[in-house]
């Protein structure tokens, strides 16, 4: 068996892994990256990108289908959709991005090996490739193996029981779909299929959809689900699936397809992490502020290290680790990581929530008072600022509304730069835009509200 040697070995070519590889290569670090799947990981191949493509297609279809009943005076015939064509379009986007990532890694002189890696010891892995077994010895190793959908023992994936991966590859719109789990993944996909014409039911074990958010943020989403004809059954627990019906403690629900979206689990078992005896936090790998594990020379980034399981967090960690391996003295000092829920309407959270800051100044500005929102027929939602009482420093920003995902960078930048309410209030915001709501929320907190 031949043995390759390198300074940096990355296991997993998802967002964290490939960014780490590209940056390391740019810095002149001899790098090998290993993954059995196409580059881009869950996010690019079967997660973030495919779901947003489906959401866009569903939004377009729904807008056409509902245009005749709106106030704009538009008349159209009943639309139809060939979902197989839509999925082929989505797959084309994924392929273009796959090729782009591969090209960037090649440009950075990163060696990409396709196969399944497994640790022999802290410096050595074996990779099962199509050409046989390959051994790699590295000075530094990054574990970036990501996560996979959580499977329920009484609803095993297969046939009509789907994970998000299978749901994003359906060739036809099912007549009915039950979504088990009222979190962001289930609601994003469930809403898309409802807009495409499926009868969608959401089953949530707790008393609130999107339980990670406060009720003020989830309320507009809940109202929109009702408008779309989605039946939400709270405090309801699924127990099985039999003869086209989801069984719950509140009765059976007919379903052609069942989407199980109850969370994700770190993907660590297949790479032999147990051989290393790393310090763990339940199923997650413990890391320090430099993403170093309990074993010298081994780093971990992304979903395997715990919440928040976000691609952009993994990317930032990957870039940082590459620079550390190249000899730079860095550590994690981010003030906030923006999170976006691509429901209808969208939700953005950045920094602290109101209940997390004692004596916080909290101010909201509703889109119902925003001219741009009115012109798009969608006035639901608001922008909220959470500021520190002693100096008006902005510590948290949340928003719910159509298109607010595009404001997430603005929110994160304000917190990272240490902006105050006065800074935001004094910044001229273009009119008419939804971003004006950000300025107005700051002015309202200062007692200087203009448009409310």
Domain extents in the chain: 3-149+265-325, 161-262, 339-445
> DSSP letters along 219-288, please?
HHHHHHHHHTT-EEE-S--EEEEETTEEEETTEEEE-SEEEE-S-EEE--GGGTGGGGT--EETTEEP--
Query: Same CATH fold, 161-262 and 3-149+265-325?
Result: yes
pLDDT higher than 70, residue 368: yes
Identify the three-state secondary structure at position 98: helix
Mean pLDDT in the chain? 96
Residue 3 has phi, psi (to 5 degrees) of -125, 125
What's the fold here for domain 339-445?
Enolase-like; domain 1 (3.30.390)
pLDDT higher than 70, residue 399: yes
Structure confidence at residue 275 (pLDDT):
83
CA triple 407-408-414, angle to 5 deg: 95
Q: How many CB atoms lie within 10 A of CB 209?
A: 23
Alpha carbons 132 and 81: distance in angstroms, whole number: 44
CATH homologous superfamily of 3-149+265-325 equals: FAD/NAD(P)-binding domain (3.50.50.60)
Structure confidence at residue 1 (pLDDT):
63
Q: In angstroms, what CA-CA distances link 73 with 134, 321, 359?
A: 65, 55, 49
Structure confidence at residue 269 (pLDDT):
86
Structure confidence at residue 67 (pLDDT):
87
pLDDT higher than 70, residue 98: yes
Structure confidence at residue 61 (pLDDT):
96
Structure confidence at residue 333 (pLDDT):
92
pLDDT higher than 90, residue 69: no
The CATH class of 161-262 is alpha beta
pLDDT in tens, 210-249: 999 999 999 999 999 999 999 999 999 999 999 999 999 9
Buried-exposed string 348-357: b where 16+ CB fall within 10 A, e elsewhere: bbbbbbbeeb
pLDDT grade for 205, boundaries at 50, 70 and 90: very high
Alpha carbons 290 and 280: distance in angstroms, whole number: 16
Structure confidence at residue 7 (pLDDT):
98
CB-based burial label for 168 (10 Å; 0-12, 13-18, 19+):
buried
Structure confidence at residue 337 (pLDDT):
97
The span from the first CA to the last CA of the chain, in angstroms, equals 72
Stretch 150-169: mean pLDDT = 97
pLDDT higher than 90, residue 293: yes
Structure confidence at residue 123 (pLDDT):
94
Structure confidence at residue 270 (pLDDT):
82
Beta carbons of 259 and 189 less than 8 angstroms apart: yes
- Catalytic residue IDs: 431
Alpha carbons 106 and 96: distance in angstroms, whole number: 15
């Amino acid at each position: 068996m031949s043995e390759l040697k390198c300074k940096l070995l990355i296991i997993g070519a998802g967002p964290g892994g490939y960014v780490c590889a590209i940056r390391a290569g740019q810095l002149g670090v001899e790098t090998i990256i290993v993954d059995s799947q196409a580059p881009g990981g869950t996010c690019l191949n079967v997660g973030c990108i495919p779901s947003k493509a489906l959401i866009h297609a569903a939004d377009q279809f729904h807008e056409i289908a509902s245009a005749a009943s709106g106030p704009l005076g538009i008349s159209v015939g009943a639309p139809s959709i060939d979902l197989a064509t839509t999925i082929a379009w989505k797959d084309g986007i994924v392929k273009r991005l796959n090729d782009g990532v591969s090209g960037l890694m090649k440009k950075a002189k990163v060696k990409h090996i396709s196969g399944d890696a497994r640790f022999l010891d802290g410096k050595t892995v074996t990779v099962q490739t199509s050409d046989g077994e390959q051994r790699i010895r590295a000075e530094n190793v990054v574990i970036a193996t990501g996560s996979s959908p959580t499977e329920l023992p009484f609803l095993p994936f297969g046939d009509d029981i789907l994970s998000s991966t299978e749901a994003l590859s359906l060739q036809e719109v099912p007549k009915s779909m039950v979504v088990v789990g009222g979190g962001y993944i289930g609601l994003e996909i469930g809403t898309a299929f409802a807009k495409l014409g499926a009868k969608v039911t959401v089953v949530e074990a707790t008393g609130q959809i999107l339980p990670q958010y406060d009720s003020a943020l989830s309320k507009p989403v809940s109202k929109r689900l009702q408008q779309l004809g989605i039946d939400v059954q709270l405090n309801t627990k699924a127990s099985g699936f039999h003869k086209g019906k989801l069984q719950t403690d509140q009765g059976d629900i007919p379903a052609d397809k069942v989407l199980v979206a109850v969370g994700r689990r770190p993907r660590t078992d297949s790479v032999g992490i147990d051989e290393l005896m790393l310090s763990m936090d339940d199923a997650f790998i413990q890391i320090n502020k430099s993403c170093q594990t309990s074993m010298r020379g081994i780093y971990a980034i992304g979903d395997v290290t715990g919440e928040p399981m976000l691609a952009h967090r993994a990317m930032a960690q990957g870039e940082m680790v590459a620079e550390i391996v190249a000899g730079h003295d860095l550590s994690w000092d981010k003030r906030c990581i923006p999170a976006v829920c691509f429901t209808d309407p969208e939700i953005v959270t950045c920094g602290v929530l109101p209940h997390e800051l004692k004596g916080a100044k909290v101010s909201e500005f509703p889109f119902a008072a925003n001219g741009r929102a009115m012109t798009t027929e969608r006035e639901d939602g608001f922008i909220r600022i959470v500021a520190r009482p002693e100096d008006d420093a902005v510590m948290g920003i949340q928003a719910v509304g159509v298109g607010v995902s595009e404001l997430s960078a603005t929110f994160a930048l304000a917190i990272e730069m240490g902006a105050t309410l006065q800074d935001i209030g004094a910044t001229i915001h273009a009119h008419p835009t939804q971003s004006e709501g950000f300025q107005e929320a700051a002015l309202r907190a200062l007692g200087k509200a203009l448009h409310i």
